[in-house]
A and B are shown apart, each in its own frame.
Chain A
């Protein structure tokens, strides 16, 4: 897999560098049979790549509008920046949150004790998470996040590609529940996907994010 790195000629004094599609930390077939190679390839090469492309396009247009002092245009572009920028942020986290089954060990250390303290047990947290994520209407994400103010872990959902930060939480783990994330394999049965996906959650990445957030 090669990253699609895009360098754009932004005519702005601000130091914005174009977003780039990150490589997956594993092959497209690495998460099978939990997530099929076909889904992984489409999800990365098509969906995430499109968010990156469209985010860069929107940012270029935004830079132009800003240079012209065209506030109306700047405001009109904010939807596209949020959709596509959010899509890029969310998927970049997602690929790191997942790992081949053999590389997944249960939560340990601070993460494990936080989960127990804030949910009772890992199973209880998963049950709560899946309930919320299954209930997302339309497209969106389920999140396990860290609340800096309370010091606790919390479950949240966001619509479309709204990043976890819009809930006020630091993202630790995100599960994509857009239909493109599971449809080819699980069809309409999103709960089956949610049951299975925990087998490929990379708890050490989740733990590292918690440590970084604290």
Chain B
């Protein structure tokens, strides 16, 4: 957690700030707006926004997606209903999420998201791409995300990514996920 926050996330913050300072076209935009615009930016900005802007948004979101084990209450009735409607059950949703997380080759993220029509989806993205990035990822409102870059789990789980993924559910902050629902 320490290295992930103080080194990796910190580096993304430093890099995106440097990029914004150096490129007027990026100024005056929120991090969400930068991510949404990533695919349309000129090449010299697009890469850093995608990697470091995405990295900053993703990790900020990720920290909020987690809480001490047992400290939150689980999916709200509203979220549970949507999960059941979209996947059949919470367990089915978890199976699908776990498969997406384990199956993301290389670095990336797994997401539980909500589409415009209200249905829930599970997707994964490469590197620091996220569902806010129109034209890059399948659009949805992120409800829950899981970092599957090796740096997120290697010190504790080494190559055993599936074990990391399975244990992730113990620290999911359901209050936050519930609140992300539109």
Chain B residue with the shortest CB-CB distance to A47: B159
- In the bound complex, do residue B11 and residue A188 qualify as a contact, i.e. CB atoms below 8 Å apart? yes
- In the bound complex, do residue B150 and residue A179 qualify as a contact, i.e. CB atoms below 8 Å apart? yes
- In the bound complex, do residue A180 and residue B154 qualify as a contact, i.e. CB atoms below 8 Å apart? yes
Instruction: Out of A50, A138, A140, A183, name the residue touching B154 (CB < 8 Å).
Output: A183
Chain B residue with the shortest CB-CB distance to A82: B105
| Bound CA–CA A46/B126 (angstroms) | 23
| Interface residue? A119 (CB, 8 A) | no
- In the bound complex, do residue A46 and residue B106 qualify as a contact, i.e. CB atoms below 8 Å apart? no
| Interface residue? B68 (CB, 8 A) | no
The smallest beta-carbon distance between A59 and chain B, in angstroms, is: 17
* Chain B residues in 8 Å Cβ range of A71: none
| Bound CA–CA A178/B151 (angstroms) | 10
| Interface residue? A187 (CB, 8 A) | yes
Cβ-Cβ contact count across A and B, 8 Å cutoff: 54
- In the bound complex, do residue A179 and residue B151 qualify as a contact, i.e. CB atoms below 8 Å apart? yes
Given A179-B151, A184-B155, A188-B151, the answer on whether A139 and B3 have CB atoms closer than 8 Å is no
| Interface residue? B51 (CB, 8 A) | yes
Given A42-B159, A137-B51, A188-B3, the answer on whether A183 and B151 have CB atoms closer than 8 Å is yes
| Interface residue? A83 (CB, 8 A) | yes
Chain B residue with the shortest CB-CB distance to A87: B105
| Bound CA–CA A50/B102 (angstroms) | 13
* Chain A residues in 8 Å Cβ range of B154: 179-180, 183-184
| Bound CA–CA A50/B150 (angstroms) | 15
- In the bound complex, do residue A42 and residue B158 qualify as a contact, i.e. CB atoms below 8 Å apart? yes
* Chain B residues in 8 Å Cβ range of A160: 105-106
The smallest beta-carbon distance between A198 and chain B, in angstroms, is: 23
| 1/0 contact string of A179-201 vs chain B (CB within 8 Å) | 11001100110000000000000
* Chain A residues in 8 Å Cβ range of B151: 179, 183, 188
| Interface residue? B127 (CB, 8 A) | yes
Chain B: residues with CB nearer than 8 A to chain A? 3, 7-8, 11, 47, 51, 105-108, 126-128, 149-151, 154-155, 158-159
